[in-house]
Amino acid sequence: MSDQSYIAHVQLKTAHHKRTPRAEYATYFALILILALPVQCLVWLGSALRHMRLPAVGPLARALRDAEEITPSIFRP
């Protein structure tokens, strides 16, 4: 009988090695947020002027949502 626990341990070690560094993820997240914020401010303002009332979701929340959606897609294989 062979020892399967060693092989599984080695495979797990190599699987964790391919993770994205947190600093790189945070850098991309911040850049996308900075770029999305002015765009979402204009969209929010346009929506407010068109409907003559303030939208329920503010520009910062929209920009955060955009950054949360886009950043993981950059690191997806």
* Residue ranges of domains in the chain: 20-75
pLDDT at residue 26, rounded to an integer:
95
**Predicted structure pTM score:** 0.70
pLDDT at residue 76, rounded to an integer:
84
Q: What CA–CA distances, in Å, run from 2 to 20, 62, 76?
A: 34, 54, 35
Q: Which residues of the chain have pLDDT under 70?
A: 1-18
Task: Compute the distance between CA of residue 41 and CA of residue 3 in angstroms, rounded to an integer.
Answer: 59
pLDDT at residue 13, rounded to an integer:
55
Task: Compute the distance between CA of residue 12 and CA of residue 4 in angstroms, rounded to an integer.
Answer: 12
